[in-house]
Amino acid sequence: MSAEYAAAQSFNKVIEIVDRYDRSESKIIPILQAVQEEYRYLPQEVMTFIATSLGISPARLYGVATFYSHFSLEPKGKHIVKMCDGTACHVRGSTAVIDAIREKLNLTAKKITTDDMMFTFETVSCLGACGLAPVLVVDDEVHGMTTAEKAIQLIEEIVEKEKENA
């Protein structure tokens, strides 16, 4: 399989997405959401491709993609860990959990993905599960009343599983 063929194959998915939204400029956000769902981030060549197929400038598309925090222009890790730092979680001690996870994964507020592309750790402003503060989300699974120990344990479980599968 040639490289060109592989590229065309991968763009097929993008074409299907832009067609699903009638190549409409007002549907930029749902299009980017669907593309990111597919690739876990927004690769540069895909962005240029979308802009061309919608008949808009890449700058217009990048303007939207960089405005919303959900969109990522950098590849994300295999496992996404999100800690809620909303008010309720904050007053119930989310900071300590955040510090512990960053230390465990050797990450900072700026560097959010591990070098082995296994984990991405983000803080989010509110997940709306304030009754269970502080809240941690590991791969879309919500864990309430989190402590630093519990968070580290969840991460270690994933690491173990990955080792078994490797």
Partner 1 sequence: MPNLEQIRDTYNAARDRIDKRIIVCAGTGCIANGSLKVFEAIKNAVVLSGLEVVVTLKAHEDEDAHHDVYMVGSGCQGFCQVGPLVTIEPAGILYGHVKPEDAEEIVAKSIVKDEIIERLLYHDPVTGTGYKGQAEIPFYTKQQRTGLKDCGRVDPLNISEYIAHGGYFAARDAFTKYNSVDLCKLFQDSGLRGRGGGGFPTGLKWEFARREENEKKYIVCNGDEGDPGAFMDRSILEGNPHNVIEGMMIAARAIGADEGYVYVRMEYPLACNRIREAIAKAEEMGILGDNIFGSGQSFRIQVMEGAGAFVCGEETALLASIEGNRGMPNPKPPFPAQKGLFGKPTIINNVETLALVPVVMQKGPEEYRKIGTPKSPGTKTFALTGHVANTGLIEVPFGTTLREVVFEIGGGVLDKDGKINNDAFKAVQIGGPSGGCLTREHLDLPIDFDSLGAAGAMVGSGGMVVMNDSTCMVETARYFMTFTQNESCGKCVPCREGTRQMLEILEDITQGNATEESLVILQDAAETIKLASLCGLGKTAPNPVLSTMRYFRDEYEAHVNAKFCPTKACKALTPISIDPDLCRGCTLCVRVCPVGAITGELKKPHVIDPMICIKCGACIAACKFKAIS
Is residue 92 at the binding interface for partner 1, with CB under 8 A as the rule? yes
- Indicate which single residue of 2, 26, 55, 163 sits in contact with partner 1 (rule: CB under 8 A): 26
Say how far apart CA 155 and CA 159 lie, in whole Å.
Answer: 6
3-class SS of residue 110: coil
Say how far apart CA 48 and CA 80 lie, in whole Å.
Answer: 26
- Are β-strands 141-143 and 136-138 bridged in parallel, bridged antiparallel, or unpaired? antiparallel
CB 113 within 8 A of CB 75: yes
Is residue 127 at the binding interface for partner 1, with CB under 8 A as the rule? yes
Stretch that binds partner 1, among 11-19, 80-88, 112-120, 151-159 (CB under 8 A): 80-88
Is residue 45 at the binding interface for partner 1, with CB under 8 A as the rule? no
- Binding residues for partner 1, per CB under 8 A? 24-30, 32-33, 63-64, 67-71, 85-92, 124-133, 135, 140, 142-144
